[in-house]
Amino acid sequence: MEVFLQQLINGISLGSIYALIALGYTMVYGIVQLINFAHGDVYMVGAYLGFFATAILGWSFLPALVMAMIVCAILGVVIEKLAYKPLRNAPRITALITAIGVSLFLEYGTMLLVTPQVRTFPQVLPEVQWKLLGNLTVSNRQVIILVITIVLMVLLQYIVHKTKIGKAMRAVSYDKQAAQLMGINVNQTISATFAIGSALAAAAGVLVGIYYNAINPLMGIMPGLKAFVAAVLGGIGIIPGAMTGGFLLGIVEAMVSGYGKSLYRDPVAFVILIIILIVKPAGLFGKNVREKV
């Protein structure tokens, strides 16, 4: 039972990261029906921005987090304007290939700028361990990751349901043409969606930096793919589904590792993807094709 509870704690921390990345996938898909495979690399750029702010500029954790989110939000808008907007009416396969191209550009462009070597993230948050029951422990970093994730998710829900841009996002996700006829600026709404999703990915990148203390230019590939699995698991295009899918995937992965099968922690995510596509293709929260953001 102790092992189970410890891995549950570890899984919630890991799931928080997957959930933040998955939200970007699901928001973009809900608006423009595009699987943005460059999203994992925006997460990687966010981690490097956090590293730059803490290691080079000497900033503390929160200013570095905010800076990374702002810069990646701008990066997300630039990617949308330059790479995806010209292809909005093109076949989906064209946009998908472009997303892969943007992903490779970000990965190898980062390698060119900072070299491929692994960087050690500064100890901006000295680790403190608290014992709960027996050998069950939780660290201050795990608590911070969970708290920041919850705060960002609550903020996202507020934006989507209570603000003008959020209402525009929901309108565009249901019917883009009708929204345009009602006076909604579709281009601006799509750009805002990319900005918010990219900011969340950047937050995940910085949180991973403080949790694992190591970053590299290819760090976005596997978490990006797993976050995509989480989005599909919860129901691609549905925000609560992305949150739930992220946490579930993190917990499952932690359980597999905790019970001595760490070699299978990566394959298990894709086994889940295959099962969910066979059993319930719409995902856990998916009910009909029009239930989106």
Q: What is the DSSP letter of 122?
A: P
Question: Given pLDDT bands bounded at 50, 70 and 90, which one contains residue 287?
Answer: low
Rounded Cα–Cα distance for residues 62 and 210 (Å): 12
Q: In a 10 Å sphere around its CB, with 0-12 CB exposed, 13-18 middle and 19+ buried, how is residue 32 labelled? A: buried
pTM of the model: 0.91
Is pLDDT at 96 greater than 60 in this prediction? Answer: yes
What digits encode the pLDDT tens for the residues 98-129?
A: 999 999 999 999 999 999 999 999 888 888 88
Q: What is the predicted pLDDT for the residue at 237?
A: 83
Percent residues over pLDDT 70 in the chain:
98
* Cα–Cα distance list, 70 to 49, 63, 65 (Å): 10, 11, 9
What does pLDDT average to over the chain? 90
CA gap 172, 183 in Å, rounded = 11
**pLDDT 10s digits, 171-202:** 998 888 899 999 999 999 999 999 999 999 99
Q: Among residues 221, 263, 229, 225, which one has the least CA distance to residue 249?
A: 229
Query: Strand pairing partners for 187?
Result: none
On the question of pLDDT at 254 being above 60, the answer is yes
